[in-house]
Chain A
């Protein structure tokens, strides 16, 4: 049952093969059984069973949606009313959100069942899930390696079948990188496609929520529910949401794929490169034309990102001050003590590093040298994408330079950790959509293929990923011990 796709489960729920309560109970059982993965921060068992019951009743009326009764889970960055929402931080360990994120409201009205809240890097800052206050998540393919981050709990839960699907958020690769390292499908939509209201902000001009699923078809179903204009989010874009499923079967004959030479140079693990080469060959077989392209500004993405994202985060995280919600230090001596100790005691090291970096980049005398310069480079990068995507339909490349690295391996070297985001970060700076699709294995660990499209071309990306998944079976592999 846990290996079925959303479409298959929806059929089973309608044919009476199983009820949502049964399905939900099965997943709750697996979550308990595999709790050592540490994928969940909060399990909402009671709520899930109640939602499943409601879903069963709705299914009986025949007035259900595809996601009605499907057990899924939310990254703990989305506010869920009445349910603890921690963002992976000690700062919010006591934070019961008093309202729902728009995305959560949308899943609720679709009748989806929320199993719980998924572990993540603290405030979505990290690429390994090791910065979580609740401890690292383990990669189900090898529990000694990281699942990636920041949506590491989401990726591990979906890969280990602890949820049918999950939400993630992606600021510099946080959906795609863990999806790649855990062998699942992840989509970061166009900036503004999915509402950010109620999604706790890391870097507001880069953050975007998206689906993390086992297949492209499941991702299409999830995105259908998540996407859409939200008047509560000024950066939400008022563009009609297409039917993501209807184009999945389109032929790829004549599709033009660009491979940026900057993506395949030094630094890319040779096993990963070989796996990707094989995947791209599959596309050739499907009728695609592959050309090499150049995007010279890509190499500047990491420095630009590590100015812009910390700058935005330094302000976004100022609201965590121990006054209205969240952690407050014991017996503050005065106001400054209240601020510095509450924040000092409750934020982890990586969050502090980025707040410091951002504060510095915005401070008097450095603003032009860092922040303005980074924003100019952001435009160069964005123009690289616009130019490339006027020449080819999609861009393909790696998601990560290597497969999952060992737990603890990069924790003491933040710069090395940052460099592992080299293939994903530029996409957020430009705001275009991109996917990670399971493309095979290197030494037993999953490898992801990245597919990058033009603004609002999510349907195209899903079609391209789905066609690949019709001729390959990498996305159906199950990590051993989690069958």
Chain B
């Protein structure tokens, strides 16, 4: 990219909160229902209906605020944002303007090994709109209001990201956080987590911001990067060719890989925000916060630190294992139940297990091998019942079936022989049968040692404890 220019990016993320019912009505928020079967009188904005605020949505917003170390407003106000659109039944969206529930906070992102703190301006509660379906109604548009009234947390960052890469890192980190907190399912295909990007460029060293364009509704990490990069190029080209960036809303077209203007200037919006008289100010007192604090899960950053300290994991494993709450929980159960060294557990989880899950396209929560069953396997490695090599075989069977590791070991007769007497007699026999090789070893050819190990293991069908075999062989060959 042209090095004379500096990019400034701010993101507005919309996270659908994982409540059962809508923010202002008792209709279900479940995804994928028949059109308009989950749009109740309140969601439809029928004459005379009134909104009542969902407690869980408030709790989730506060949990989020605590997680980004933000100021939680003791007093926040819902406002009406007025505009006409067919997927907005009341002609206004209930949102928050002047007094949002979550104030200034921050989120740390890591890009190329460097940690950068991104400021979060605010996060506020609002209702989602319905959906417009453009396909094939004799040139008309169909409106489905099932989504109308689904609670949204709009998280607004400071314009503090200076590359598409940073924006993606921020979005990923935020995605991880909201799922960690259990406040959003993060399903981007279903639109549970979406993002608008405010992008501007300015000559390097200039203090004032350039004019920004807002790119709407970007629904994947890949597209965020592409859309921003494209927009930055467009703006630089425009300015360099003597043009001017206009403040406008643009839509990213992932097929053509370009952004295009969405609304003409003539339609400049005047949202006429004012406090919603149907709703009263939301009061969040210390008691409410204390109850939520007790519910607050350990945050990714703290968990990673703890994993490094308590389990002596390296950066890579700790990062990977804390990338989702479910995976971290899985790992911790495995460590506890298997009573095995954490390092070994980490290698199994991040190695064999994640590889198998990736291959099958499964999430940790859908793993065919439960934490308990994997722990059962690892327990048998650490108590020397089976070797690591045998364990790989058992893992295959755990993946395919429902038996426990112990059942598989018993059924296959995989039990490792640790009876030193049995091993000793076999070693004696092998030494006696291979005196040539014994001579070679004793004359300094260390490589021959492997031959003896192989022979013993072969004789014992792999069931001997390799450590024990090594030790005894060394003694006998002296």
Tell me the A residues contacting B by CB distance below 8 Å: 78-79, 85, 87, 92, 95, 97-99, 101, 196-201, 203-205, 231-235, 311-312, 314-315, 317-321, 323-326, 335, 339, 359, 362-364, 367, 371
A101 to B49, CA, bound (A): 9
Select one of A79, A318, A325, A371 contacting B84, CB under 8 A. A318
**Is the C-beta of B32 less than 8 angstroms from some C-beta in chain A?**
no
Q: Nearest 10 A-B pairs (CB), nearest first?
A: A318-B91, A362-B272, A204-B277, A205-B277, A319-B45, A198-B48, A200-B47, A319-B90, A200-B48, A79-B48
CA distance A232 to B50 in the complex (A): 7
B278 to A235, Cβ gap below 8 A?
yes
CB pair A321 B91 closer than 8 Å: yes
Which residues on the B side are within 8 Å of A317 (C-beta)? 91
Q: Does B270 reach chain A (CB closer than 8 Å)? A: yes
Q: Is the interface of B mostly helix, strand, loop or mixed?
A: loop
Q: How large is the interface on B (under 10, 10 to 19, 20 to 34, 35 or more residues)?
A: 20 to 34
A99-B41, A234-B52, A318-B90 known; A323+B143 contact, CB < 8 A:
yes
* Cα-based distance from A101 to B89 in the complex (angstroms): 20
CB-CB under 8 A from B52, the residues of chain A are 231-234
- With a CB–CB cut-off of 8 A, which chain B residues contact A201? 47-48, 278
Q: Which of B44, B49, B91 contacts A198 (CB 8 A)?
A: B49
CA distance A99 to B50 in the complex (A): 13
Residues of B contacting A318 with CB < 8 Å?
82, 84, 90-92
Contact assessment for B86 and A197 in the assembled complex, using a CB-CB cutoff below 8 Å: no
CA distance A363 to B84 in the complex (A): 15
**Interface residue B46 (Cβ < 8 Å from any Cβ of A):** yes
> Known contacts A339-B84, A359-B272; is A319 also within 8 Å of B277 by CB?
no
| B143 contacts across to A, CB distance below 8 A | 323
Q: Kindly report which residue of chain B lies nearest to residue A101, judged by CB atoms.
A: B48
Q: List 24 A-B contacts (CB under 8 A).
A: A95-B47, A98-B41, A98-B46, A196-B50, A197-B50, A198-B48, A231-B52, A234-B50, A234-B51, A235-B50, A235-B277, A311-B274, A314-B82, A315-B80, A315-B82, A318-B84, A318-B91, A319-B89, A319-B90, A324-B44, A324-B89, A362-B273, A363-B270, A371-B274
B280: CB under 8 A from chain A? yes
B53 interfacial contact with A, CB 8 Å:
yes
11 other A-B residue contacts (CB within 8 Å) besides A98-B41, A315-B90, A323-B86: A97-B46, A99-B46, A196-B48, A197-B49, A205-B277, A234-B52, A311-B274, A315-B272, A321-B84, A324-B45, A325-B46
Q: Which of B245-286 contact A (CB under 8 A)?
A: 270, 272-274, 277-280
A196 to chain B: which residues have CB within 8 Å?
48, 50
Return the CB mask of B49-74 against A: 1 if under 8 Å, else 0.
11111000000000000000000000
Chain B residues with CB under 8 Å of A323's CB are: 86, 89, 143
Distance between Cα atoms of A335 and B45 in the complex (Å): 19
Q: Roughly how many angstroms separate A92 CA and B274 CA in the complex, as a whole number?
A: 26
B86 touches A335 (CB 8 A): yes
